[in-house]
Structure 1
Amino acid sequence: MKMYPLIVFIWLFLQMFCVPGASVFCAENGGAPVDGDWLINHLGAEPATLNPITSTDAYASNINDYIYESLLKRDEKSLELVPVLADSWDIAEDHLTYTFHLKKNIRWQDGQPFTARDVLFSFERIRDPKVDAAHLRNYYQDIEKLEVLDDYTVRYHYRIPYFRALEFCGGIPIVPAHLFKDDEDFNQHPIGRNPLGTGPYKLLRWDTGKEIVLVRNPDYWGERPHLDRIVFKIITDSTVALQVLKQGGLDVLGLRPIQWVKQTQGKRFEQNYRKIKYYLPSYSYIGWNLRKPLFADRKVRQAMTLLVNRETILKRILFGLGTVVTGTFYVNSPEYDQNIKPYPYDPAAAVELLKSAGWQDHDGDGILDRDGIPFSFEFLISAGSKFGEQLATILQENLKQVGIKMEIRKLEWAVFIQKIQQHDFDACTMAWSLGWVSDPFQLWHSSQAAQGSNFVGFQNEEADRIIETARMEFDAQKRYKLYHRFHEILHEEQPYTFLFTTEALVAVARRFENVNVYPMGLAPREWWVPPGAQKYREQ
């Protein structure tokens, strides 16, 4: 995605008054950056794997960003693609070949050299249908081959143009080929518990259920970060996490709205922590499993959205710290159609829609039914989500008033996501963290309904055509027009009840310097702690 006017305004304003690079907080202690100290992060759930090719959740991504690198990345400040493991790249005029020239003398954290063979091996694993990488595979499906020209040069050959090809060719997750044997099950390889990359930090230990500890890589090829360790404490209850933060056991914590507004006030908290808020491209939603007979009819899905009082939920649970959204694109982006307005909370209209779909209380038991089957379903939520619990409770009561029975089922994250991936659910609530350039293929194309991220099973021929056409459209304005029509289709079909884009609310210990908010959010790899404020020492 692009930078948008409000974000650009804040960014430029902060540049005028603080350190270069849009720093929200000017240095408190001053002086030159020094090495030392640890950063203690919060992890709301334990990742199933740290294999960067098979992992799908944000928890793993947060950790892997410190361990693994790719050929290029998106710069936090400019949002431009910049080189990392690649020195440079060449793009053919027809957008069908992409050649990357790799840096030399890069080594994996076990000392083995990084070469083009690692890129090829990783590409082949992503393309292998036996590997659990359907969420990535769709972005590489139009590549005819990846050619290794020599140890430090690779060339991608596309069969058709793709407007995000450079980002995905250059941003491919890369694992060390030398660690894998031909007859091994890639999905179960020990690298999932023992990650090994080329990045500035490496795994020190993983204490299941407690913490994952990274230590600075002394042989890192690039600019070394200042912090000795990055520690991720696994605390699934956000209330407990806030208590640990206040006791000094955490340095960074994403706050719930009620915590931001009511539970982090007072002079003592302000002395110890900075409170930062900013928007990132993301949204929350309720997903209706279209494979289930209950939700196969779009009239029913429209009715369900009419029964969700989003404005009240936003005010009561989120204290107004967000925006109701109507589609899959970031609300502040040109891809998002601002002319599409949210469905209102309207139980009477919902009842009429349900009636037209055949749902009435025929037997007088207070529950809607059709063909003798009651309107009853299970709503899955993750055990660590306070918002999910509150949303489910409000929704359950609203549905009960019109004759719909909803059971709430709370599951630990690993079990929850497994149920979603296996399509073993009626309805659920989750959130997506979006890319900076939009391509809805992964979430919405019908080909992604079986094994990809189209968990709800949405299938629509016109939507497929739009998604496929937009992928080959390099004119942004024409692509936006296509996406606006796609937005209309989602609004009509309601495979999700789209909820909110909310602000990221973060508390950061004040001893850290150079805490900047960029268009892409925080960049902890830049942080450092003055000698007199350092809290932890290497053992």
Structure 2
Amino acid sequence: MLKFPLRFIGMLIGLMISVVGCSSDLSDNQVLTLRLGAEPSMLNPILSTDSPSSSVNGYVFSGLLKVTPELELEPDLAESYTVSADGLVYLFNLKQNIKWHDGEAFTAHDVKYTYDMILNPSTNTVRRSDYIIDGKAVEFKVLDEYTLQIRMHKPYAPLLNRLTMGIIPEHIFEVTDINTAKENQNPIGTGPYKFKQWETSQFVLLEANEAYYDEPPKIKKIIMKIIPDNNTALISFEKEEILSSGIPGKDFKRIAKNDLFNTYRYYDLAYTYLGLNCKHPLFSNKNVRKALAMSIDKRSIVDGILLGYGKPAHIPTSPEMWTYPKKPFFYDYNKKEALKILAEEGYIFDKEKNILSKDDTPVTFKIITNKGNKDRELAATLIQKNLKEIGIEVSIQLMEWSSFIAIVNEHVDPKKFDAVILGWSLGLDPDAYSLWHSREYPRGFNFVGYSNSDVDDFLVMGRKELDREERKMIYEKMYEEIAMDVPYIFLYYPESLVGLNKIIQGVSPAGPAGLLNPIENIYLIEK
């Protein structure tokens, strides 16, 4: 997975880069064409949740803070900040003379407005709980045009990471309904690139912000082409029609030998999973979910589909995260034991007919995933085969991204899906309240309807604990509880395999922050 500059944390999905013009003297011909793996849903950082939208938003909008290539936080719109002795009050001094892309002045009122809108119940956002502690909202107060006070009633460990959120312009949205505003398709930000054009199913065009408050970007235009199929992108990459691509495992060694390209391998803060609808009659039973987990051969997915470019996943965090335990809990692959558990729950396995049933009804369900992601498609097929071996009939539906992501983005009736293969990219902070807390169903990211009071407690404790080691122990307990409950069957940690044409310069070291972070450093040279 190729990662773009993290101006604010967002969910990511495979994205690639290309170039349609270059110049050795860094002229106005510096045009970088990026590949989006799907259509963005909405170009408003407080409303959108999908990776394509986040990738565009990351160039257009800025946050109070931003993430460095070293995964550190540093000021962006902020000039500096101080913290009170009790850790409850943050005072942010903002950079002055920053302009919105329409020429209006950026002030502290825009920052307060952004977070007030997130906290407003009428705003269609899943991010509200990120700014609420024990039922009480974080308070944002303007002290003057360039000074903002943030006050909490209790310590809140994830706060600074939450301040990477892109800030939106008050003067634009205060006169309209933010949920339906036309500016959600035609955004105005303060970031290094201005939005220029969006042609549905074709491309998004951005132009360099010549009035950018930080180092001006060397790339003058970014064209983000919407290309759902990964194989098509790889073919274009090899023809040098595009200059970067995620590379399938089967092609990585071959591409690495080509003198035209630099190749990179690294692990993101990400995992891929099979999410089970806990409101579905079949998956509402924890022991059934456990039996399914024991029937899926994750090692075969990693070795046979990823060709070893990955690791089996067991818990809802990445091995790259500091909270990852030394020995994560997981259920062993054991079909015999799985059938025993199912029998105890009243399921009968007819070995001759190879059918699992209960009350004379065969067990069947459907897995959905996004079309074009070959690893997920093949994983679904292998899972289908594994479960057929214990008599469960699984169908697979490949969906266009817009329909698929609606499950998360638009909170569709959860009864409309049984199981889903999807991936999460994680922020720098281990807080996962919006993913796992029972209050986050159905309007948050907890779209599978998972509920466990102990997990709820761990999530709350983890937010309030400031000691790193104590926090780590809290999350280790939470990971074990979730792994035992199996709301997700964690499948694999994919290794990012990326190729860049050697004319792309200014690239950061391979890692979760992204090869092109910061975008201001990127430029193109002639061969």
TM-score with structure 1 setting the length: 0.88
* TM superposition shift of 1:261: 4.0
Whether 1:140 aligns to 2:131 is yes
Residue number in structure 1 paired with 2:147: 153
Whether 1:232 aligns to 2:191 is no
Residue number in structure 1 paired with 2:403: 415
Report matched runs for 1:44-443 at 5 Å.
Answer: 44-77=37-70, 79-134=71-126, 136-142=127-133, 143-168=137-162, 170-182=163-175, 184-261=176-253, 264=255, 270-361=258-349, 366-420=354-408, 421-422=411-412, 423=414, 424-443=416-435
C-alpha distance in 2, partners of 1:233/1:132?
27
Contact 1:41–1:253 (Cα < 8 Å) also in 2: no
Q: 2:441 aligns with which of 449, 471, 487?
A: 449
SS of aligned partner of 1:286: strand
C-alpha distance in 1, partners of 2:243/2:117?
37
SS of aligned partner of 1:503: strand
Residue number in structure 1 paired with 2:4: none
* TM superposition shift of 1:35: 6.4
1:318 maps to a residue whose letter is L
Residue number in structure 2 paired with 1:14: none
The alignment's C-alpha RMSD in Å is 2.1
1:385 maps to a residue whose letter is N
Contact 2:30–2:221 (Cα < 8 Å) also in 1: yes
Contact 1:38–1:230 (Cα < 8 Å) also in 2: yes
Unaligned runs of 5+ in 2: 1-23
2:158 maps to a residue whose letter is R
C-alpha distance in 2, partners of 1:59/1:401?
37
Q: Deviations over 1:473-524 (max 9, x none)?
A: 0111011111111111012111111111122111111111222215423125
Contact 1:286–1:427 (Cα < 8 Å) also in 2: yes
SS of aligned partner of 2:151: strand
C-alpha distance in 1, partners of 2:173/2:156?
31
* TM superposition shift of 1:247: 2.3
C-alpha distance in 1, partners of 2:268/2:353?
46
Contact 2:161–2:428 (Cα < 8 Å) also in 1: no
Contact 2:265–2:496 (Cα < 8 Å) also in 1: yes
Q: Deviations over 1:279-326 (max 9, x none)?
A: 221111110110111001111111111111111111111010111121
Whether 1:496 aligns to 2:499 is no
C-alpha distance in 2, partners of 1:508/1:265?
10
1:357 maps to a residue whose letter is E
C-alpha distance in 2, partners of 1:245/1:506?
11
Contact 2:265–2:510 (Cα < 8 Å) also in 1: no
1:225 maps to a residue whose letter is P
Q: 1:529 aligns with which of 499, 524, 527?
A: 524
C-alpha distance in 2, partners of 1:340/1:81?
28
* TM superposition shift of 1:152: 1.1
SS of aligned partner of 2:391: coil
Q: Deviations over 1:17-51 (max 9, x none)?
A: xxxxxxxxxxxxxx997764222211110111111
1:255 maps to a residue whose letter is I
* TM superposition shift of 1:68: 0.6
SS of aligned partner of 1:232: strand
C-alpha distance in 2, partners of 1:362/1:42?
49
C-alpha distance in 2, partners of 1:273/1:188?
43
Contact 2:69–2:509 (Cα < 8 Å) also in 1: no
Contact 1:198–1:220 (Cα < 8 Å) also in 2: yes
Q: Taking every aligned residue pair, what percent have the same amino acid on both sides?
A: 33
Contact 1:34–1:528 (Cα < 8 Å) also in 2: no
CA gap 1:259/1:132 in 2 versus in 1, 3 angstroms: farther
TM-score with structure 2 setting the length: 0.90
Q: Deviations over 1:177-234 (max 9, x none)?
A: 111244x321111122111111111122111111111111122122011111111111
CA gap 1:167/1:333 in 2 versus in 1, 3 angstroms: closer
